[in-house]
Structure 1
Amino acid sequence: MTALRLSRSKTYDLIRTHQLPSFTVGRARRVSPDSLRAFIQEQIEENAA
């Protein structure tokens, strides 16, 4: 949430719709740095067109 500067609900919505890959550690949901970079790059490319 902090890295993307998005609300908690928007972040979970992206995870739920598989736009932002994540994994679970115990009860916590985590996003890998590589997944975060890939998501940001995809958004940049989509908005540049």
Structure 2
Amino acid sequence: MSAGYFRSKGEKFGSQLENQKVETSKNINILQTNLKHKNYDKNVLELINNVLKD
């Protein structure tokens, strides 16, 4: 297998990972918005914020 093969596989994986990160971020933002509008327990919001910091 050539270096090009592995490079293309790595780039594909990298772009998939980046897309997954973007999608996850969108979902977290939606969840945060929903939680704020429904006045859920502040501990839940704090937990989400802690996850985002990591």
Indicate the TM-score class for this superposition, using the shorter chain for normalisation.
Answer: 0.3 to 0.5
Normalization by structure 2: what TM-score? 0.34
Structure richer in strand, relative to its length = 1
Decide which structure has the larger Cα Rg and report it.
2
Structure richer in helix, relative to its length = 2
Normalization by structure 1: what TM-score? 0.37
